[in-house]
């Protein structure tokens, strides 16, 4: 009978123990939060390396009066054409050209960072030139031969100083366009005879258009000469440097709309066509030079009017 009377007490005690056991805190190890996943840092992929160039890449015409652009071998430190140092842009691009009277061969030599050299021989094709008779005095706009001899040295000095200026321009990378379009009236490389007196060969290409016709920049560049008064032969002369030693000369202009130091962009109006200097009629004489080499504008700009 005592068992029966004690059961409620024992039951209450048992329930209390079960409840108390449920309230016992877990061990320290069980109380920690679940560990966070470890995130490994992601290393970005390395940028693709520029392909190694073991030789030259050349584009353009290997021909008298023509221009070529190229890509130098990787790690080129110096570049030379027939012993003449050639500047190389940061991306390895460069420009070379061949005079109207250039020899039949040339040699490119790149010196690499480790001292090794890479050579590329170039076969230069001959140009085809014509003879032209011009009914204009050899002395141009000078009143006499004596006046021509007096004025000419100072004019040549201005031209030489302009071409020796070092400017930064990427115009040489562009596809050149004609500064004006019309009938071709004079051809690069042809030898001229002025009223029976043989002269030097024609150093540019003539385009016959009416006086006052606007002409534009064939490529980006910097103005290095803008004649303040007409020269005896060139008249109102403008020279634009396109970088890398390549420059354009515009002769016989009626008016110039830019000045020395101006940066011009391809297609920008530079002035108007005229007949100043030694000219038999209004036309644009466009001459191109790379350093001392005289070049054929048509070989750089392509067929006129394209």
Do 221 and 112 share a domain, yes or no? no
Distance CA 257, CA 271 (A): 5
Please report which helix (H) or strand (E) contains residue 33, including its range.
Answer: none
CATH number at residue 62: 2.60.40
119 and 157, same structural domain? no
pLDDT at 7: 40
Q: What is the pLDDT of residue 46?
A: 60
pLDDT, tens digit (0-9, with 9 covering 90-100), for 44-94: 666 665 566 789 999 999 999 999 999 999 999 999 999 999 999 999 999
The answer on 94 and 227 residing in a single domain is: no
Domain count, the chain: 2
| pLDDT the model gives residue 89 | 96
**With contact defined as beta carbons under 8 Å apart, do 248 and 287 qualify?**
yes
**What's residue 20's pLDDT?**
42
Q: Give me the pLDDT at residue 2, please.
A: 43
Same domain, 177 and 252: yes
Domain that holds residue 107: 57-123
Report if residue 296 sits inside a domain.
Answer: yes
Q: pLDDT value at position 38?
A: 62
Together in a domain, 170 and 292? yes
Structural domain ending residue among the three candidates 78, 107, 123: 123
Encode pLDDT of 19-42 as tens digits. 444 444 444 445 566 666 665 666
Based on the fold, state whether residues 140 and 115 are members of the same structural domain: no
Which residue positions in the chain have pLDDT lower than 50? 1-29
Residue where a domain terminates, one of 123, 144, 178: 123
Q: How many CA atoms lie within 13 A of 186 on its CB side?
A: 26
Query: Is the same domain home to 258 and 242?
Result: yes
Do both 153 and 253 map to the same domain? yes
Q: What is the CA radius of gyration of the chain?
A: 39
* The pLDDT of residue 273: 98
Whole-number pLDDT of residue 161: 94
The reply to whether 141 and 271 lie within a common domain is: yes
| Contact by Cβ (8 Å): 127, 100 | yes
**What CATH number did the domain enclosing 197 receive?**
2.70.70.10
* 174 shares a domain with 63: no
* Domain end (from 71, 106, 123): 123
Residues 181 and 239 in one domain: yes
């Amino acid at each position: 009978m005592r068992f029966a009377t004690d059961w409620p007490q024992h039951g209450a005690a048992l329930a209390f123990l079960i409840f108390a056991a449920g309230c016992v805190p877990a061990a320290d190890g069980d109380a920690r939060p679940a560990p966070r996943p470890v995130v490994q840092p992601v290393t970005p992929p390395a940028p693709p390396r520029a392909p190694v160039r073991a030789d030259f890449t050349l584009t353009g015409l290997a021909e008298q009066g023509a221009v070529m652009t190229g890509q130098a071998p990787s790690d080129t430190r110096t570049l030379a054409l027939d012993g003449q140092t050639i500047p190389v842009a940061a991306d390895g691009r460069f420009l070379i050209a061949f005079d109207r009277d250039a020899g039949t061969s040339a040699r490119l030599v790149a010196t690499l960072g480790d001292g090794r050299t890479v050579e590329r021989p170039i076969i230069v094709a001959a140009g085809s030139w014509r003879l032209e008779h011009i009914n204009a005095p050899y002395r141009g706009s000078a009143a006499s031969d004596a006046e021509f001899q007096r004025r000419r040295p100072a004019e040549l000095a201005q031209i030489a100083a302009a071409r020796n200026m070092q400017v930064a321009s990427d115009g040489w990378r562009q596809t050149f366009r004609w500064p004006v379009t019309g009938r071709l009236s004079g051809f690069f490389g042809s030898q001229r005879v002025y009223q029976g007196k043989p002269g030097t060969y024609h150093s540019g290409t003539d385009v016959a258009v009416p006086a006052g016709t606007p002409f534009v920049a064939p490529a980006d560049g910097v103005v290095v000469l803008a004649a303040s008064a007409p020269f005896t032969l060139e008249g109102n002369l403008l020279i634009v440097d396109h970088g890398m030693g390549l420059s354009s000369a515009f002769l016989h202009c009626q008016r110039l709309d830019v000045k020395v130091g101006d940066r011009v962009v391809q297609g920008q109006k530079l002035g108007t066509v005229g007949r100043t200097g030694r000219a038999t009629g209004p036309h644009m004489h466009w001459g191109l030079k790379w350093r001392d080499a005289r070049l054929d504008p048509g070989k750089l700009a392509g067929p006129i009017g394209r």
